[in-house]
Amino acid sequence: MYDFMFHVPTKIYFGRGQISHLAELSDFGQKALLVYGGGSIKRNGIYDEAIRILTHAGIEVVELSGVEPNPRIETVRRGVGLCAREGVDMVLAIGGGSTIDCAKVVAAGARYDGDPWDLVLDGSKAASALPIFSVLTLSATGSEMDAFAVISDMSKNEKWGTGAECMKPTMSVLDPSYTFSVSPKQTAAGTADMMSHTFESYFSMDEGAYVQKRLAEGLLGTMIHFGPIALAHPDDYDARANLMWAASHAINGLVSDGCSPAWCVHPMEHELSAFYDITHGEGLAILTPAWMEHVLDAQTAPLFAAYGCNVWGLSGVDDMKVAREAISRTRAFFVEAMHLPATLREVGITDEKNFEVMARKAADGCKGSFVALSQDDIVEIYRAAL
């Protein structure tokens, strides 16, 4: 296990009715930029409740609406402009990971003299940010409790992850009942996303990170157990609560600090989203089993076998056999239990015309990953997923 610094400054209010704590934003100023997406928070009543609480606390609200599922840099720039013109003191995101990601870069961009795209390309340039708050409505990305954000420039077919300490939210409200109305598609995609976050850290050659691996296995088991329950019973509070809390811990450093290599499936999927604007979690569900099969060999088989035994309850003395069954179970879970697409063709990607350029860009993000992937390797994975 290598040395690390673990720091999660985000205050979490978890459970029903915790949105009342938005009144605490008055400690940070009198004007908030409210960031949200397509308007679902107005239909389900969360918007009205938040406005009521903020107004009662004496906080003026400026709105940035219309955040895209793969948030665009144009929307970030619009938010930064609003912060400057309106003298905003803080940023409040109400929504899922895309909304929170947008809010984070807006908050950092408001304290940066240049174009906020600079912060996407190089998170080290984000030296400070306005205070960031969130009310989570979709369990998936863990953005409510981490330092990261993903922003797209579709004019360049670019989608990049960034991060900085100043982008960690000051406070997040996690009310599982707010996810009752999440569609089956987004519930499934969100589960795939949080599982992928856990996989990216779990599959590591660091043998000393025993505790991180056991924690990761517990999170994966939780996701596998409660994902189908949430699909079948959308208003099952315990299912939604366990998924919500698991998603937060999958990426807040708990299972990655001290052991995590560079991620590889996420950079590959970011290229799919950048070129084809597909749902992130669906892309991950398609690529993950293909990646697992590609990197499976004599060296990695024991790690995949441990995953099979400790997460899927498999047994056997032949590591390769157990590993193959674990990968098969993973694919079946995504496709059969969660009803996610199995191939790229199912999400509208029917040819290889962009694979070479996508692989070249993804290879840069995969440097130092669990198993080294060349541009040719990544093209092969895309082809296997087609």
Query: Mind listing the pLDDT tens digit for each residue in 295-334?
Result: 999 999 999 999 999 999 999 999 999 999 999 999 999 9
Please report the pLDDT score of residue 22 as a whole number.
Answer: 98
pTM of the entire predicted model: 0.95
* CA 130 from centre of chain: 22
Q: Which residue has the tokens 């087609």?
A: 386
Beta 158-163 vs 171-174: how paired, if at all? unpaired
- Judge whether residue 249 has pLDDT over 90: yes
- Judge whether residue 103 has pLDDT over 90: yes
Confidence grade of residue 385 (pLDDT, cut at 50, 70, 90): very high
> For 205, what's the count of Cα atoms within 13 Å in the CB-facing half-sphere?
10
Structure-token pair, residue 355: 């694979």
Q: What is the C-alpha to C-alpha distance for residues 258 and 320, in angstroms, rounded to an integer?
A: 27
38-47, 68-77, 180-189, range with the lowest pLDDT: 38-47
Confidence grade of residue 227 (pLDDT, cut at 50, 70, 90): very high
Please report the pLDDT score of residue 198 as a whole number.
Answer: 98
78-86 mean pLDDT:
97
- Judge whether residue 207 has pLDDT over 90: no
Please report the pLDDT score of residue 206 as a whole number.
Answer: 85
The residues, ordered by sequence, that sit 6+ positions from 228 with a Cβ below 8 Å of its Cβ are 337, 338
Closest CA to 143 of 118, 121, 168, 126: 168
Amino acid in position 218: G
Confidence grade of residue 364 (pLDDT, cut at 50, 70, 90): confident
DSSP per-residue string spanning 179-247: GTT--HHHHHHHHHHHHHHHHHHHS-S-TT-HHHHHHHHHHHHHHHHHHHHHHH-TT-HHHHHHHHHHH
Please name each of the domains of the chain with its CATH number: 9-176 (3.40.50.1970), 183-383 (1.20.1090.10)
Angle between helices 73-86 and 97-109 (to 10 degrees): 50
Please report the pLDDT score of residue 35 as a whole number.
Answer: 98
21-46 mean pLDDT:
95
Confidence grade of residue 144 (pLDDT, cut at 50, 70, 90): very high
334-359 mean pLDDT:
97
Please report the pLDDT score of residue 331 as a whole number.
Answer: 98
Query: Mind listing the pLDDT tens digit for each residue in 12-24?
Result: 999 999 999 999 9
- Judge whether residue 260 has pLDDT over 90: no
Please report the pLDDT score of residue 38 as a whole number.
Answer: 85
Please report the pLDDT score of residue 218 as a whole number.
Answer: 98
- Judge whether residue 351 has pLDDT over 90: yes
Average pLDDT over the chain, rounded to whole? Answer: 96
